[in-house]
Structure 1
């Protein structure tokens, strides 16, 4: 891949990954409630979900979703319902004592939750299916090119997930107050519900 094309892909990915979507929101919330260490599992789960979407796109399912409205809407509604469910769970979550932050949640739960948030976002499948082909030379071997783009995307996305997690972690002292935790849970839960509503009304 020519250097100018590579830098263009990096720039586009860096800008698009910065948007505060459901995955970034999940990283911020989990880091705020459980700390940076636990939020690493959120980041890994989201990365695994994005990797799954990229592999599906490589198999041509990105184009299928873009062309088949029923498939797109099915995935979309599943993702929207899951975000609303997570938001409601957060609204109902009781305040955590200081020594319960890291112990109150299992790592695999954070991983699985983030994986579901990422993999049920049909926009990701369409995004990978539409963007990646623009930077792949069909006259050259496809696997190395696809691997390079995948690694770049995952790294750029991980950088922004870390930024959001650090932002969420920075308010942990403030969250030691039960009253502040209630506010955080309500604001974060409401944001997830709004994100679910926005996803529900997403169009191709």
Structure 2
């Protein structure tokens, strides 16, 4: 694949992904609650969701999903409900949110939670539908180009959300023993739910 085209794709994809949204708010909330080391599983989950979006779009299934408005609406509200549920859990936790919560939240659960948040965000799929086809050309094989684009997208996804997580964890060290810690974490989850709910499908 042409390197210039790949760099342009990487720049475009990164600029879209870096904008604060439901995924970023979820990543920050998890980092504040569980710390950076454990929350890197969130970045892995988002990376895997990026892979799923790429497969859906590049296989043509994404177009079918896009045409089914009801499916997109259902996805969105499932995501909103899940984020509100996480917010309620955070509100009900004890003051020391790390020691109370980290015992029950495994790395695999955290990764799957991140995938659930990302995959129930219709805008993520629609953005992929708009971007990927622009960078597929007739000069190379379809599969090699698709794999190159997906690999770059996954690397960018992990890097951006890992940056959010590490940055938030530094703030989290000062908040975890505060009586406001749970409320702050819950506000990130509710903020993510609000952003997702406000987006039209």
Q: Is TM (by shorter chain) over 0.5?
A: yes
In structure 1, distance between residues paired with 2:22 and 2:48: 15
Asked if residue 177 in structure 1 is aligned to residue 174 in structure 2, the reply is no
SS in 2 for 1:24: helix
Residues 127-138 of structure 1: matches in 2 within 5 Å? Answer: 127-138=127-138
Q: Structure 1 segments of 4 or more deviating over 3 A? A: 97-104
CA contact (8 A) 1:97 1:176 kept: yes
> 1:71–1:122: structure 2 CA closer, same or farther, 3 Å change rule?
same
* Superposed displacement of residue 132, structure 1: 0.3
> 1:199–1:31: structure 2 CA closer, same or farther, 3 Å change rule?
closer
* Superposed displacement of residue 39, structure 1: 0.9
Q: TM-score, normalised by structure 1?
A: 0.87
Tell me which residue corresponds to 2:152.
152
In structure 2, distance between residues paired with 1:194 and 1:24: 10
* Superposed displacement of residue 99, structure 1: 5.5
* Superposed displacement of residue 146, structure 1: 0.8
* Superposed displacement of residue 139, structure 1: 5.4
Q: What value does the CA root-mean-square deviation take over the aligned residues?
A: 2.1
CA contact (8 A) 2:65 2:71 kept: yes
Asked if residue 187 in structure 1 is aligned to residue 170 in structure 2, the reply is no
CA contact (8 A) 1:35 1:101 kept: no
- Per-residue CA deviation, residues 133-183 of structure 1 (Å, 9 max, x unaligned), is 00001453111111111111111111111111111110233124242xxx2
In structure 2, distance between residues paired with 1:83 and 1:176: 20
Gaps of 5+ in 2: none
- Per-residue CA deviation, residues 10-32 of structure 1 (Å, 9 max, x unaligned), is 11112111112222222222222
* Superposed displacement of residue 3, structure 1: 3.1
- Per-residue CA deviation, residues 35-68 of structure 1 (Å, 9 max, x unaligned), is 2220121111221222112212222222223322
Q: TM-score, normalised by structure 2?
A: 0.88
Tell me which residue corresponds to 1:26.
26
Query: How many residues get paired?
Result: 201
> 1:68–1:98: structure 2 CA closer, same or farther, 3 Å change rule?
closer
> 1:98–1:130: structure 2 CA closer, same or farther, 3 Å change rule?
closer
